[in-house]
Structure 1
Amino acid sequence: APDLFISYSAIILSFMCGTLWAGWQTIGNNRLAKGAVLLSNLLALSAWGALLLMLIASVPKVFCVILLMFGFISLLTAERMLGTAVMDYWRMRLSLTAIVLILHLIMITLVIMEF
């Protein structure tokens, strides 16, 4: 189950990084926009890196889940810094990210308990 969770989390995180690309298009061509695009790519690559660490390097699954969790937190923070989202979208993102983080914490607990 942890392998499937980590795989799904990596896919979703890399997909969600596309929100920074959309934000880049709305704020124009400045340093913040370029940083958003770079961060988007960095977060997507780190998501796949977490998956590869688990599959190839046999890194503990807890570390991979924590890395993905911080990816979701970083993405939310970056989106907020861009400030391009309307309030309804922002409320939805906060709620969904909170659920995602809770699920990651549950998975960390289960992995530690060797479920």
Structure 2
Amino acid sequence: MKTWKALGYLGLIPFIVCLYLSSEAEFWGISTKQAFVAYSAVILSFIAGTIWRRDVSTHHDKRYIISNIFSLIAFASLLVAQEVALIILALSFMLLFVYENSIGKQHKLPTDYMNMRFWLTQIVVLLHITGYFLWFG
């Protein structure tokens, strides 16, 4: 398995661990809900930042702005109630995938990368929905 693919799937572990430990667990004074939301915000911002790497030889101001908007949304999700943050983050992951997929079609990104992104996005969104109903439903 390619390193980027392995790292992509290994990135699911913190989400899964936070859900497994459920809502009452705390480590170093941080609740698993807070850790889940914080990790989600970091990952959303990271993935948004990868948009910049696409065809860096040309300037894509729109792409840079959209990337920064997703990073700001990720930051804002840390400042709202956790149940609201889960919704914002889940929607943001979906929208970011849709945007990245449109870029992928234009620039013919490798199919295996986009397939991985599709499945990771589906799993991450499902984990957010699960967390929402487990913790607040």
After the TM superposition, list the runs of 4 or more consecutive aligned residues in structure 1 that deviate by more than 2 angstroms.
Answer: none
For structure 2, the residue ranges without an aligned partner over 5 or more in a row are 1-31
Distance, in Å, in 1 between the alignment partners of 2:89 and 2:55 is 23
The CA deviation string for residues 44-102 of structure 1, in whole angstroms up to 9 with x for no partner, is 1110111022xxxxx3x211111011111111011111123211101111111111111
Name 2:100's counterpart in structure 1: 79
Structure 1 unmatched ranges of 5 or more: 54-58
TM-score by length of 1: 0.82
Contact 1:21–1:36 (Cα < 8 Å) also in 2: yes
The one-letter code of the counterpart of 2:46 is F
Structure 2 CA distance for aligned equivalents of residues 40 and 22 of structure 1: 11
Count of equivalent residues: 103
CA RMSD of aligned residues (A): 1.4
Task: Name the one with the larger helix percent.
Answer: 1
Paired-residue identity, %: 33
Tell me which amino acid in the other structure corresponds to 2:47: M
Rounded to whole Å, the distance in 1 between the matches of 2:75 and 2:99 is: 19
Q: In the aligned structure 1, how far is the partner of 2:95 from the partner of 2:66?
A: 9
Aligned residue identity for 1:47: A
8 Å CA contact retained: 1:65, 1:104: yes
TM-score, L = length of structure 2: 0.69
